[in-house]
Every structure is written in C-alpha cells, then in structure tokens.
Amino acid sequence: MHTKRLAQAGMAALAITAMTGVFAPAAYADNSTVTFEALGSGTAMTIDTDPAVDRVYNAPLPWSRTIQAGPDVTLFQVVVVGSGATNPGCRISINGHVVAEQPVGGSAHCIYSR
C-alpha cells in the first residue's frame, strides 16, 4: 500500500513538472506594452522598428511609438538613421522598464530579445 502511494505521488510530481514547460512564463503570458524611442535633436532620415509597423521618414526628434506585443513576439529592435553630424540615440521599454538603450552619439541601434 505504501509503495502504491509513493508511485502515485511520484507520477503526479512528474506530470506537474512536465506541464510547467508547456506554459509561457508569467512575465510573457499577456500582451506587453512596448515603447520604441529615437533620442536626440534634429531629424531622423529613417526609423525602423521590429516588429515592423511602418518605416518612418523625416521624423522630428525626439520620437516615440508604443505598440502592444503578444507573448509570441520575442525580438524587438529600433534602428535610427540621423540626418545630422551626431547619431541619434534609441531606447526600448517593455511595460515601463528600459530593456535596451544607446545614448545620443552611439550606434542608434537598440535590440532586445526576451
């Protein structure tokens, strides 16, 4: 009788362990609010975001766009091509937390994978 209970408890634990890998972590279970920003002054010739919404042309800086991304979206990036002598900066925030940032004068390419 004792052996049977141990076997049942072991199988239940195994089933629970196997099931936990099926579900997305709680942090990604719902849609996330993602904000892309281009930092600096002047004008950006182009701004590209991924997931792609639309390429933005001749955008005055600073610039931002906020989208909703589902749990299946795992890669985010923004690439800013400036029109002045100094490269713009960029930033990506998810649910209000900065996850990637390049300062003004940096590479102007921010990327984050979750």
Q: Which pLDDT belongs to residue 90? A: 97
Domain ranges, ordered by start, for the chain: 33-113
Please list the residues that pair with 37 across neighbouring strands.
64, 91
Amino acid 15: pLDDT: 36
* 94: amino acid identity, one letter: I
Q: Which residues of 50-76 are buried (b: 16+ CB within 10 A; e: fewer)?
A: eeeeeebeebebebebeeebeeebeeb
| The predicted structure's pLDDT at residue 29 | 64
Q: pLDDT tens track of the chain, all 114 residues?
A: 544 443 444 433 333 333 333 333 445 568 999 999 999 999 999 999 999 778 999 999 999 999 999 999 999 999 999 988 889 999 999 999 999 999 999 889 999 999
Q: Which CATH number fits domain 33-113: 1.10.4160, 3.40.630, 1.10.3470, 2.60.40?
A: 2.60.40
